[in-house]
Amino acid sequence: MNEIKKTINPISIPTKKLYTGSQIPCIGYGTFGSDYIPAETVSETVKKAIYSGYRQIDCASVYGNEKNIGEVLDEIFKSGFLEREDLWITSKVWNDMHDNVVESCKQSLKDLKIDYLDLYLVHWPFPNYHPPHCDVTSRSPNAKPYIHENYMKTWRQMEQLVEDGLVKNIGTSNMTIPKLKLLLRDAKIKPACNEMELHPHFQQPELFDFCLKNDIQPIGYCPLGSPGRPERDRTKDDTVDLKDEVIIKIANRLNVTPAQVAIKWAVQRGQIPIPFSVNHFFENLEAVVNVQLTENDMKEISNIDKNCRLIKGQVFLWKENQGWEDLWDLNGEITPA
Ligand SMILES: NC(=O)c1ccc[n+]([C@@H]2O[C@H](COP(=O)([O-])OP(=O)(O)OC[C@H]3O[C@@H](n4cnc5c(N)ncnc54)[C@H](OP(=O)(O)O)[C@@H]3O)[C@@H](O)[C@H]2O)c1
């Protein structure tokens, strides 16, 4: 791609070794265009991101752009720029396909025009369908709570995908410690990764430590505090990571941007950030190699956690008079049905 002037040599991007032996790049490129970035724009940026040095792409069937991304991947592989093995590709099964995981995975493979995924995630632990672009008050009449027996039926299909060679690693997303404990107890194949919201104002230290202790690699979504997130995911109490005075102070001292500080904090802490960006993707990748935070910077950032969850998941609530907190098992036990 001629218009890509700035590149980072992918060899300089560290990888993390999963318990399965797979090596995952320590930063990925997110592909959720927050409902308003067209699929063609996202896929064109995936192309630019790959040419600029990204080697991990975070996809999901519900993002509605896997077909467009597949066209781009096909073009890149056919050009000989890189081989399939040079890229880490993640996808996720959406909530209305928990009973049809194999079918859903095969559709993602077909759309992405590849024959295996490096990582396949259960996007949410709730099988509750809600229509794309719905607002925060939308509820499914068939909504269900977390039912472990049902989740395990979904997980067995995830395991089947590994056994059939369609997927190299399987993992979870939007899980809590009590749910993960049950999964670790009952899984034949343990999750290799857990994708979870992680940014300086929402560090989830207990879940993060639990994952590390159990050899589950945390992948951090909304690593910049998702400044472009849809209206349904905004509340008046939300805080803004990139305007935090500690982040700005460190950025000014190092002569880098606040976003670069947030990205490098994530990498140095040990999670894998997957920022989405049409306009700043190079800046984010560059942070991994060109920014170095001191121990004191890391400590200062650990102190600005505001426990500010942005993606609260209200649409997954299953009965009247519940609060979004019920989805996240805040008292350490799975919220009863
Ligand atoms: N597993 C899940 O349930 C789940 C949930 C949410 C998200 N995700 C994944 O995580 C990815 C990232 O999350 P996200 O997109 O919500 O949040 P994010 O990456 O924190 O924020 C993306 C927004 O930040 C802006 N941005 C990016 N780099 C910037 C920079 N250097 N300076 C200033 N602004 C910058 C982007 O605008 P520009 O385009 O203008 O740069 C975009 O509006 C998603 O794309 C998706 O792949 C997963």
Show Cβ contacts of residue 82 under 8 Å, excluding neighbours closer than 6 positions: 50, 76
User: Would you state the structure tokens that stand for residue 137, as one six-digit string?
Assistant: 């008050």
311 or 1: whose pLDDT is higher?
311
- Per-residue pLDDT of 184-220, as tens digits, reads 999 999 999 999 999 999 999 999 999 999 999 999 9
Ligand 1 center from residue 32 Cα (angstroms): 7
Ligand 1 center from residue 158 Cα (angstroms): 27
Ligand 1 center from residue 277 Cα (angstroms): 6
Helices (H), 187-244: 205-213
Residue 69 above 70 pLDDT?
yes
Which residue is closest in CA terms to ligand 1's atom 11? Answer: 30
* Distance, CA of 69 to CA of 318 (rounded, Å): 33
Give the pLDDT of residue 2.
Answer: 58
Task: Provide the residue ranges of all domains of the chain, joining segments of one domain with +.
Answer: 15-328
Give the pLDDT of residue 137.
Answer: 80
Which residue is closest in CA terms to ligand 1's atom 13? Answer: 222
Please give the share of the chain, as a percent, with pLDDT higher than 70. Answer: 99
Give the pLDDT of residue 231.
Answer: 82
Opening angle at CA 14, ends 289 and 18, nearest 5: 150
User: Residues 191, 162: contact at Cβ < 8 Å?
Assistant: no
Helices (H), the chain: 39-52, 66-79, 101-112, 148-163, 177-186, 205-213, 245-254, 258-269, 281-290, 295-302
With left for phi above 0 and alpha for psi between -120 and 50, is residue 8 left, alpha or beta?
A: beta
Which residue is closest in CA terms to ligand 1's atom 47? Answer: 30
Please give the share of the chain, as a percent, with pLDDT higher than 90. Answer: 87
Cβ–ligand 1 distance for 173 under 6 Å, the answer: yes
Residue 123 above 80 pLDDT?
yes
Residue 315's alpha-carbon distances to 2, 20, 142, 190, in angstroms, are 43, 34, 12, 28
| Mean pLDDT, rounded, for 40-55 | 98
DSSP bridge partners of 88: 56
Give the pLDDT of residue 232.
Answer: 80
Residue 274 above 80 pLDDT?
yes
Domain topology for 15-328: TIM Barrel (3.20.20)
Confidence of residue 131 (pLDDT cuts 50, 70, 90): confident
Cβ–ligand 1 distance for 273 under 6 Å, the answer: no
Ligand 1 center from residue 18 Cα (angstroms): 24
* Distance, CA of 24 to CA of 15 (rounded, Å): 5
116 is catalytic: no
Cβ–ligand 1 distance for 140 under 6 Å, the answer: no
Give the pLDDT of residue 217.
Answer: 99
Cβ–ligand 1 distance for 258 under 6 Å, the answer: no
Confidence of residue 337 (pLDDT cuts 50, 70, 90): confident
Confidence of residue 293 (pLDDT cuts 50, 70, 90): very high
Residue whose CB lies within 8 A of the most ligand 1 atoms, among 197, 276, 281, 328, for a mutation test: 276
Which residue is closest in CA terms to ligand 1's atom 33? Answer: 259
Residue 42 above 90 pLDDT?
yes
Which residue is closest in CA terms to ligand 1's atom 10? Answer: 221
Confidence of residue 230 (pLDDT cuts 50, 70, 90): confident
Name the catalytic one among 29, 54, 63, 146.
63
Q: For residue 136, give the DSSP letter.
A: T
Ligand 1 center from residue 165 Cα (angstroms): 31
Residue 321 above 90 pLDDT?
no
Opening angle at CA 170, ends 286 and 277, nearest 5: 30
- Per-residue pLDDT of 137-189, as tens digits, reads 878 778 889 999 999 999 999 999 999 999 999 999 999 999 999 999 999 99
| Mean pLDDT, rounded, for 223-243 | 93
132 or 252: whose pLDDT is higher?
252
Give the pLDDT of residue 1.
Answer: 67
Cβ–ligand 1 distance for 227 under 6 Å, the answer: yes
